[in-house]
A and B are shown apart, each in its own frame.
Chain A
Amino acid sequence: MLGILASIIDGVLVGLVYGLAAMGLTLIWGVMDVINLTHGVMIVAGMFALFLLTTGLGLDPYVAMLPVLIGGFFVGVMLYWVAIHRMVGRPPLMSLLSTFSVNLVLIGIGTAVWGTALFNVDVSLPGFTMGRYTFPGAHILAAILAAVIATVLYLFLQYTRLGKSIRAVANNREAAELVGIPTTRVLAISVGLGVALAGVSGVLIATLFPFTVLSGDGYQLKGFVVTVLGGFGNPIGALMGGIALGLLEGAVTPFVPVSWTLVIEFVLFVLVLIAFPAGIFRSRRGAL
């Protein structure tokens, strides 16, 4: 009984981080119908930024989130102008290919500089013990931060002027333009936000697990599943989708080899898309 409770808690903790890792992807996807295939590599960029900031400047890992957030925003705006601006409104094939090619360039540079060796960042926080089970402190903190970030993002999208503009552009770009919203700037800001979120999730993931230049791929793939589970561009939906994924992983890992979990998740992806084209946790109309 305690074991089941513990594995549920573990699933929720991991799931919240998956949700955060998917949030930037789903935001960009929801706002401009562009699937950002650089998302995984941006998560990795966050991880390596943390590694450099903690080993080079001796920053505390959680303080390092701030420069990563700001840096990620500017990288995202640059990404928008380089690879996405000309693709908005064109067939999704083209933006898939353009972000994919940026991904190749960045992965290529990353592997040339760091190779594919494992890196890790040590974080020691007191854990939480429940009977025979201990939940590491870093895990709990990461999950809490993920929930906080999702809530802040949700409030930002709902109640601020810029957030409302983002939702308006997501809803109907031409109409938003007509009522005087600078759509191009809003799109650039959305990509900036999406990439900043990817970077921050990279920071948090790096405090939990060792990483390589290529470890973003797995999170990006999970991000696709989370997005279709949670609905497009919805931060709270992304958290819910992430938790569903975390619980699912906890439930299947005792029975199948680890390499199959991603396959099971992809089967889920296909089934959900066929059954619920708008996502399961889609909240009321106009969530984004």
Chain B
Amino acid sequence: MPSMVRRPFFWIITLAVLAFALAPVYGNDVSLRESLLLDALYITLASNLNLMLGYAGYVNFGSIVFFGLGGYICVWLVNSYKWTLVPSLAVAGVCVSGLALIFGLGILRLRGAFFALSTIGVIEAVQAFAENFTPWGGSSGIYLPASIFTPLGGPRQALWVIYFIMVGVMGASLYLSYAIKTSKFGLGLLAIGQNEDAAAILGVPTARYKAMVYSVSAFLPAIAGGLYFFKSAFIQPSDAFDLSLSTEALVVGMLGGQGTVTGVAIGAFLYEELRGYLLTSSTFANFQLVVSGALLLVIVLFFPGGLMGWIYSRFPRTQKVLE
């Protein structure tokens, strides 16, 4: 940790987080806050997916499961047990992370493409559970009463509180990505991504590392999911496990440059702004999937390094500063 503080990149992250936190406060700009909230959510999801995708080279099609489950656990605790927001979020994060560890221990013996396919099975399993589990309201979901915002000082103030927590979660994701990348654990993951057999022979505990990174990458998305669905005061299976969000996290990771911290954050920011534009334009509103699909195809075929790959090759010096 102390060595991290001395590096410039640590301060770049800190500045970015502060900018996020302060930009809407200056001038009390509510619409800017909402748009930045979504940016922060995307950055959180993509950064944590990147721990799997970019570092260990494992495609996780089911990253949305963490987000949705976290949302469910948090909303359920707030609704049925009258918990306040922060402990619910913490419990949601811990539970989902623990569950991911159990799932991970089940599927970590599969490698490469098989692992990717079994993450689709995890989505199916969790969705089937949510639809059939009566305390979670089955397919109709859970509605929260407006009174949940009272402990946070009424709806108006609650939205600010939620925003600041979300920015905090985003910051934590970026620091986590950076910390893992510079750690021995991260080195092991990168080795797995390069050549899993070689890594195993050189003494990287591949199975344990994969399960750990799967579990770690579940924690912050679960909290983000809790916040998101607490904010909308409503959750149902089709929203919580919306596959397009998983997909978008993949697109974002590839767009920015898998395996980088900066690239994924910038990719998430750019993609969310683009999506906002597409959703409001009359021509593209129905073709959002087509656009993200085509974008992903072009990146995969022609720019596998993503945005950061391009920046690194044009300006090699940036590699020393931007992780």
Contact = CB atoms under 8 A, between A and B. Distances in A.
B124 A100 contact: no
Given A93-B59, A112-B287, A103 B293 contact: yes
A100 B314 CA distance: 29
Nearest to B247: A104
A98 interface: yes
Contacts of A93: 57-59, 112-113, 116
A91 B124 CA distance: 26
Interface stretch (A118-126, A240-248, A260-268): A260-268
Nearest to B251: A101
A35 B287 CA distance: 25
B290 A221 contact: no
A56 interface: no
Given A96-B59, A270-B118, A101 B294 contact: yes
Contacts of B293: 101-108
B166 interface: no
B132 A260 contact: yes
A100 B118 contact: no
B154 interface: no
A102 B297 contact: yes
A214 B256 CA distance: 29
A109 interface: yes
Nearest to B254: A97
Contacts of B291: 108
Contacts of A103: 293
A83 interface: yes
B296 A270 contact: no
A92 interface: yes
Given A86-B301, A97-B300, A101-B297, A269 B289 contact: no
Contacts of A221: 120-121, 124
Given A270-B107, A270-B118, A274-B109, A109 B124 contact: no
B59 A107 contact: no
A168 to B, nearest CB: 23
A257 interface: yes
A6 B117 CA distance: 33
A94 interface: yes
A263 B107 contact: no
B292 interface: yes
A273 B132 contact: no
Interface in B106-140: 106-107, 109-110, 112-114, 116-118, 120-121, 124-125, 127-128, 131-132
A259 B300 contact: no
Given A35-B117, A104-B289, A266-B118, A97 B110 contact: no
A224 interface: yes
Contacts of A267: 121
Nearest to B117: A224
Interface string A75-92: 000000011001100011
A151 interface: no
A35 B297 contact: no
A103 B121 CA distance: 18
A111 interface: yes
Contacts of B116: 35, 92-93, 96
A97 B128 contact: no
B286 interface: yes
Interface string B223-257: 00000000000000000000000010010001000
A105 B297 contact: yes
Contacts of A266: 118, 120-121, 124-125
Interface of A: 35, 82-83, 86-87, 91-94, 96-98, 100-109, 111-112, 221, 224, 228, 257, 259-260, 262-263, 266-267, 269-270, 273-274
25 contacts: A86-B301, A92-B112, A93-B58, A93-B59, A100-B250, A101-B297, A102-B293, A104-B247, A104-B289, A105-B289, A108-B287, A108-B290, A109-B290, A112-B287, A221-B121, A224-B117, A259-B131, A260-B132, A263-B121, A263-B124, A263-B125, A266-B121, A269-B117, A273-B110, A273-B118
Interface of B: 57-59, 106-107, 109-110, 112-114, 116-118, 120-121, 124-125, 127-128, 131-132, 247, 250, 254, 286-297, 300-301, 304
